[in-house]
Structure 1
Amino acid sequence: MKRVYPRAQAALRAVSRHEFVAGSDLAPSITGHSIPREETVRHLLSLMPEIEPDQRLVHVGGGSGYLTAVLAELAHTVVYVERNPVVAEAAKARFARLGMHNIEVMTVDAEAGLPALEGDLVLCTTFLKNLKGLLPALRDRGRLVCLEGRAGPVPSLAMFENRGGTLARSQTLGWVDFNRNAEQILIDLGLVDDTLLSAARAEAAQTNARVLDVVRKRLNLEEVGLYQDLARQRGMVFREADEVLTGLQPGLFRRFSRTFLDLSRLIPITEVNGRITVITDDPDARTDQLERLTPNSTIECVLVTPTDFRRIWSALDLTAQGKQFVEDHADPVTAPAAQASLGDKSDSRQVAPYLVSVYEAILLDAVSEKASDIHIEQYGERVRVRLRVDGELHDLSRYQLTPRELRGVINVIKLRAELNIAEHRLPQGGRSQLKLGDALYDLRIQTQPSLHGEHVVIRLLPQTGRAMTIAELGMSKAIGARYQRLLDNPAGLVLVVGPTGSGKSTTLYAGLQTLADDGRRKVITVEDPIEYSIDNIQQTRVRADIGFGFADAMRAFVREDPDVILVGEIRDQETALEAIRASQTGHVVLSTLHCNDAVDSLQRLYDLGVHPNSIAGELLAVIAQRLAKRICLHCRQPAEPEPGILAELFPDGAPANFRCYEGQGCEHCNGRGTQGRVAIVEYMEVNSDIRNAISSQPPIGELRWRALDAGLVTMRDSALDHVIEGVIPLSELPRILPRERMAPEVRGGRRRSE
């Protein structure tokens, strides 16, 4: 590298690069060319002819303005040229704030041509197809310094001269690397500072991890969004696994050493007309070694997330192993799989590594799509693998397993869950764990014999040490505040009710997480099973095999000085009575019941043999809930209400200002229009009126009328609030509300009964 002349050194010291990045609202749009590193600017100035104090310069591709500001310290006047008006206005504001009054800002597309600017020198740090458009900006004998060659990792810098209206090439000045590594990009995006980055480097060295992974974990950054930003900054294409998986070329993958590909963090996926496309999860990955291995091909590098990188590697690996599995297990004569006996033990031998890879790939797909359950089923000769995402099942069609392969996969699942692989006639339940990077998942396994073979359902429960807080549940602020207040009571019973899969445990765990964060109260739980592990909460599992049930745990807990006790579920009279006794002895008791709504829970307690006066005295509140799909925030748009649903909701006519929304479908939600779910709650707080009603034990219909008069927040009201606010689509209401609850309920039960 040439030595930088003293005035250039002084200019670099005078301008802080930090001023052009920190706090910038341009973070998603800045690139290495628009905000070059200080080392890059120093190298650039060493290659260029020395800038004199009386010169007029034109900088094309000014970006954030950092390089322009350095040039302004050297020249009399600098004209900043940028085609993006938003970027140009932000740079202009920076120049004014820093008192740089010798910079003229011009918003124009240089590709279309520049006006007469009488520049002594034009510096172009962006790639232009038409250099002649820059000619009018140069005076006669003025010089143009610009990038040339392909817009690759390290372009060359060339100099031209205006000789009587013609650009004459003078010389090639050298190479200029505008690329920034991932760490520099994180700083430029405002995600980290030098202190955090140093700590992340130390942790990465200690744990043998990548710095980028450590930073993402520390800041709890969303993986896809982070890698999209990194791809934009590096000038790379970003793809998600679903876009890539359909076009993989397994033969290309097998041409290269797996050790080389693993160390390089590269996977070749397609080769078309001499162009090899590779994917990587490392923004700083180098392809030069791969280029030397394939001298007659050009390499296109695409960025994916680490999770998708593992999925794609797994898919290619499975193809190779599957081919070998078929060759190794090809029988001259094979009996139809549908005729195999359920008690057949022929598949209980050691399973092939290929089948282990199949199971792990299915788990990886489930984690990637944020699935709650995996369903593996057989129907005759057809094997079906499905994921439950946001409450709905959809097929993983790329797993075309044979019945024989399915039996091998089920053996892998049973072995991992410590189940009996020789038992095919009875249902079995077990559990295992999945560790994926820093994430840990608890897997609940249930096998079920069926007509054609065994089916398996796997529930995935992330174990993060934290649950959602009440604020993150999506409840209305009013109900969230009431729920928070319930936890502060000195004693009483709080029930969360609803059918299986309605999110009852998630709501209870949100309360536990709030208590754990507060840290002033001791919380003990008894669960079957423990769904989420929460730091600072004492959690206990029911052990029916040794006679330790919910009621036994409750009797023991009251002697351990707890403030709050969670009972996973009230299933029988003994547990219900112990929950009431714990409440009577000065504890807040949280639990769940399986019933349809808040008022039905009272009838359920009556049926369990709890005395009405005990219920009236100890019950604080009941939260009944269902889960509804959230509208995707990235593609939400106003929608036309469906007339049939409106007629059910508003028999007397819908309000004139009624509005609703829907998701159009986009890449963020895989075209579904919804992403995630939210609890729709019915909230009944037990006041004196409801206590009197509970004690008198009226018919359930009358009890509901009294609850409505006493301020019951119905599920219909909660659902409509979410519809109007654009949280859930109107089409969700018939799915979560029975027909008789779609219309407004009549309040004032006494008048109605008359």
Structure 2
Amino acid sequence: MKRIDQRARQALNAISRHDFVASADLKDSISGHSIPREETLAHILGLIPEVAPGQLVMHVGGGSGYVAAVLSRLARRVICVERDPVVAEAARERFFRLGLHNIDVIIADARNPFELDEPCDMVLCTSFVDNQEALLPHLRPDGQLICLEGHAGPVPSLALYRRHGEGLVRERTLGWVDFNRNSEQILIDLGVVDDKTLAAARAEAIAGNCRVLDVLRKKLNLEEADLFRSIARQRGMKFVEVDDLMEQLDFSLYSRFSRTFLDLSRLIPVSLLNQHMVVVTDDPDARTDQLERMSPTQDIECLLVTPTDFRRLWSVLELAVKGNRFVADNTSPGEPVRQSNDLLAKSEDHISPYLVSVYEAILLDAVSEKASDIHIEQYGERVRVRLRVDGDLHDLPQYQLTPRELKGVINVIKLRAELNIAERRLPQGGRSRLRLGESSYDLRIQTQPSLHGEHAVIRMLPQTGRAMTISELGMSPAIGACYTRLLDNPAGLVLVVGPTGSGKSTTLYAGLQTLADDGRRKVITVEDPIEYSIDNIQQTRVRGEIGFSFADAMRSFVRQDPDVILVGEIRDGETALEAIRASQTGHVVLSTLHCNDAVDSLQRLYDLGVHPNSIAGELLAVIAQRLAKRICKHCKQPAEPDPAILRELFPDGPPANFQCFEGAGCQACNGRGTHGRVAIIEYMEVDADIRNAISSQPPVGELRWRALDAGLVTMRDSALDHVIEGLIPLSELPRILPRERMAPEVRGGRRRAS
């Protein structure tokens, strides 16, 4: 690096680069060209001609203003040109706040003509300008233009031009300038980490023999795709989803390289077309120079993917190689594979490493997609692998398994779950665990014989040591506050009700997480199975095979001095009676019931044999819920409401200012327009009027109207609030609300106000 003179060094030291990067308005706009590293700017100042105190200097590609600020310490006046209005205004405010009054900000595209009040002595471009002649009018006679050249290369050069009459004359190349920042510097520039956090992450990465980026992502709980998308934007790389690359994979290209080399360099070759090779990496700082030397005649493009997608892609390519070997090892030339449809027949399949790899690749895809369930099914000669994501099933078409291969995969699943692989006539259930880096999952496995062969369903439960908090559930602030208050009661019964898969356990676990974080109360749970492991909560599993049931656990719990008891589910009258007794002896009891709404839960307790007076005396509240798809925050846009849905919701006509939203579909949500789910809540708090009604045991319809009069928050009300706030699309309402609950509820011919 060329040494800079004393004036330039003083100017550089006088301006803190931190003032120009740690700003929320720049997160999507800063780059290495607009805010170069301090050493890079020092190198530029050493390359360009000396800036005299009386000169007027223009900086093109101003960004947040860091380069212009340093130049303002050297020149009489600086013109900062930036085409992004938001970034330009932020730079103007920053110059004013720092007292840099000799800088003028112009919002313009340097490729097009714009006006200046006086010509410049020097124009410095740290962004690429294709139409250099457009800058000619802004130079005084003999003025200097310094601009970047070499778009294709990773490190551009600075070239010096001089105005000669009505044209530009190129004088010489000044030198190379590396604007690249590594991923750690980018995270600091984005304000994601500070120097202290980064130093701690480096030490932890060295101790754990892992990457700093992985440590930071875990410590700061950063969303993987969002983090790598931001880094790619700053590095000038293209970020891609693996699903977009599946159809382009060239398996023969992958086989040409050593696995050790690819693993060490963190590169995977994807495709080769017309001497243009596409490779992917999960390391933003990966170097392709060795690959370029190995393929000197090919142009190499490096794309960035997340670490999870990188593992998925590696698995797919490895499976292709192993699959070819598996077919060759298990079939003779020209001989078709014989299939048996007899479920009583003994399987002759052995456990091939290829089949193990297939199962692990499916699990990896499920983790990447944040799937809740995996369905592996056979229909005749067709094998189907599907994932349930946000409540909907979608296929994984990359797994084109034969029925014979499916039998082997089912055997792998059974062995992992310690099931009997010889038993193919009866359903079996078991569990296993999956570790993926620092993440672990509890896998609940169920196999089922059918007409064509065995099916398998795998429920995936992440074990993080923490559950969602009440604020993360998506409850309204009012209901969230009520739920939190229920946990502080000295005693009583709280029920969360809904059908299977409605998020009941997640809501209860959110309450447990609040209690665990507080630490003042002892919490014991009995569950079947333990879905999420939570630190600081004593969790117990039902063991039916040895006669340890929910009711048995409840009877023993009251002697363990608990404050709060969670019963995973009230399934029978004995468990219901023990839950009531526990609440009567000074404990808060949390549990779930399978029923449709809050009022139906009362009838369900009646049916289980609980005395109405006991219910009235101990029940604190009932939370009924469904799960609705959440609109993707990256592509949310206003939507035109469906007239048919509006007629059901508002028989007398919708409000004049009614609005709704939808997701347009983007890369972040895989084109679905929705990402994740949110709970739609019906909340019934039991007050004196409802207690009297419960004791008298009126018909369910009458009981509901008493609850409505007492302030029942209906599921319709909650859903409409979420629609108006832009959390869920209007199209979700018919899916989560029965037809009779779409409109405001009617009593005696009069419609209750919506």
In structure 2, the partner of 1:228 is: 229
Cα separation, 1, equivalents of 2:139 and 2:207: 55
- TM-superposed CA distance for 1:698, in Å, is 2.4
Q: Secondary structure at the match of 2:385?
A: strand
Which runs of structure 2 are paired with 1:227-626 in the superposition (5 Å)?
227-331=228-332, 333-334=335-336, 336-337=338-339, 339-349=340-350, 351-626=351-626
Q: Secondary structure at the match of 1:677?
A: strand
Q: Secondary structure at the match of 2:595?
A: coil
Tell me, which stretches of 5 or more residues in structure 2 are unaligned? none
TM-score (norm 1): 0.96
In structure 2, the partner of 1:56 is: 56
Deviates more, 1:58-67 or 1:549-558: 58-67
Cα separation, 1, equivalents of 2:169 and 2:498: 79
CA contact (8 A) 1:496 1:622 kept: yes
Q: Secondary structure at the match of 1:479?
A: helix
Q: Which amino acid aligns with 1:567?
A: V
- TM-superposed CA distance for 1:133, in Å, is 2.4
Distance change in 2, residues 1:652/1:323 (3 Å)? same
Distance change in 2, residues 1:430/1:162 (3 Å)? same
Asked if 1:146 corresponds to 2:147, the answer is yes
Cα separation, 1, equivalents of 2:86 and 2:733: 42
- TM-superposed CA distance for 1:236, in Å, is 0.9
- TM-superposed CA distance for 1:446, in Å, is 0.5
- TM-superposed CA distance for 1:513, in Å, is 0.8
Cα separation, 2, equivalents of 1:239 and 1:57: 40
Asked if 1:4 corresponds to 2:23, the answer is no
In structure 1, the partner of 2:173 is: 172
Q: Secondary structure at the match of 2:580?
A: helix
Q: Secondary structure at the match of 1:484?
A: helix
Distance change in 2, residues 1:512/1:24 (3 Å)? closer
- TM-superposed CA distance for 1:308, in Å, is 1.1
Q: Which amino acid aligns with 1:248?
A: L
Distance change in 2, residues 1:545/1:136 (3 Å)? same
Cα separation, 1, equivalents of 2:542 and 2:232: 48
Q: Secondary structure at the match of 2:254?
A: helix
Deviates more, 1:224-233 or 1:154-163: 154-163
CA contact (8 A) 1:347 1:407 kept: no
Asked if 1:716 corresponds to 2:692, the answer is no
Distance change in 2, residues 1:564/1:144 (3 Å)? same
Deviations 1:662-708 (A, max 9, x none): 33322222222222112222222111222222222223233223222
CA contact (8 A) 1:347 1:408 kept: no
Distance change in 2, residues 1:54/1:378 (3 Å)? same
Distance change in 2, residues 1:737/1:75 (3 Å)? closer
Deviates more, 1:634-643 or 1:555-564: 634-643
CA contact (8 A) 2:526 2:542 kept: yes
CA contact (8 A) 2:583 2:589 kept: yes
Deviates more, 1:446-455 or 1:146-155: 146-155
Cα separation, 2, equivalents of 1:84 and 1:651: 48
In structure 2, the partner of 1:155 is: 156
In structure 1, the partner of 2:218 is: 217
Distance change in 2, residues 1:565/1:298 (3 Å)? same
Distance change in 2, residues 1:694/1:751 (3 Å)? farther
Q: Secondary structure at the match of 1:106?
A: strand
- TM-superposed CA distance for 1:497, in Å, is 1.0
Q: Which amino acid aligns with 2:23?
A: G
In structure 1, the partner of 2:191 is: 190
Which runs of structure 2 are paired with 1:652-731 in the superposition (5 Å)?
652-731=652-731
Q: Which amino acid aligns with 1:456?
A: A
Asked if 1:129 corresponds to 2:124, the answer is no
Cα separation, 2, equivalents of 1:602 and 1:622: 9
- TM-superposed CA distance for 1:312, in Å, is 1.2
- TM-superposed CA distance for 1:660, in Å, is 2.9
Deviations 1:194-246 (A, max 9, x none): 11110110111111111111111111111111111111111111111111112
- Residue identity over aligned pairs, in percent, reads 75
- TM-superposed CA distance for 1:35, in Å, is 0.3
Q: Secondary structure at the match of 2:606?
A: helix
In structure 2, the partner of 1:100 is: 100
CA contact (8 A) 1:115 1:136 kept: no
In structure 2, the partner of 1:41 is: 41
Distance change in 2, residues 1:335/1:262 (3 Å)? closer
Cα separation, 2, equivalents of 1:210 and 1:387: 30
Cα separation, 2, equivalents of 1:86 and 1:703: 57
Distance change in 2, residues 1:179/1:405 (3 Å)? same
Cα separation, 2, equivalents of 1:743 and 1:89: 49
Q: Which amino acid aligns with 2:305?
A: V
Q: Secondary structure at the match of 1:81?
A: strand
CA contact (8 A) 2:331 2:337 kept: no
CA contact (8 A) 1:343 1:422 kept: no
Distance change in 2, residues 1:701/1:72 (3 Å)? closer
Cα separation, 2, equivalents of 1:561 and 1:748: 50
Q: Which amino acid aligns with 2:232?
A: A
Q: Secondary structure at the match of 1:168?
A: strand
- TM-superposed CA distance for 1:625, in Å, is 1.4
Cα separation, 1, equivalents of 2:219 and 2:93: 33
CA contact (8 A) 1:527 1:539 kept: yes
Q: Which amino acid aligns with 1:174?
A: G
Aligned residues: 750
CA contact (8 A) 1:56 1:76 kept: yes
Cα separation, 2, equivalents of 1:544 and 1:662: 46
- TM-superposed CA distance for 1:748, in Å, is 7.7
CA contact (8 A) 1:348 1:421 kept: no
Q: Secondary structure at the match of 1:109?
A: coil
CA contact (8 A) 1:627 1:679 kept: yes
Q: Which amino acid aligns with 1:211?
A: V
Deviations 1:695-747 (A, max 9, x none): 22223233223222322222222222222332222222222222222232235
Distance change in 2, residues 1:80/1:638 (3 Å)? closer
Cα separation, 2, equivalents of 1:750 and 1:266: 68
- TM-superposed CA distance for 1:275, in Å, is 0.9
Distance change in 2, residues 1:708/1:69 (3 Å)? closer
Deviations 1:565-618 (A, max 9, x none): 000011112111111111111000001111122122112112211122111111
- TM-superposed CA distance for 1:749, in Å, is 11
- TM-superposed CA distance for 1:412, in Å, is 1.1
Cα separation, 1, equivalents of 2:610 and 2:484: 27
Deviations 1:106-163 (A, max 9, x none): 3322223565743332222111222222323333333322221234321122222333
CA contact (8 A) 1:114 1:136 kept: no
Q: Secondary structure at the match of 2:386?
A: strand
Cα separation, 2, equivalents of 1:494 and 1:746: 28
CA contact (8 A) 1:431 1:445 kept: yes
Distance change in 2, residues 1:113/1:646 (3 Å)? closer
Hey, which bits of structure 1, 4+ residues long, moved more than 6 A?
748-752
Cα separation, 1, equivalents of 2:279 and 2:478: 51
Q: Secondary structure at the match of 1:25?
A: helix
Tell me, which stretches of 5 or more residues in structure 1 are unaligned? none
Deviations 1:410-461 (A, max 9, x none): 1111111111111111111111111122211111111000010000000111
Cα separation, 2, equivalents of 1:743 and 1:596: 17
Deviates more, 1:247-256 or 1:717-726: 717-726
Q: Secondary structure at the match of 2:25?
A: coil
Cα separation, 1, equivalents of 2:468 and 2:384: 33
- TM-superposed CA distance for 1:76, in Å, is 2.4
Q: Which amino acid aligns with 2:249?
A: L
CA contact (8 A) 2:646 2:654 kept: yes
CA contact (8 A) 2:349 2:407 kept: no
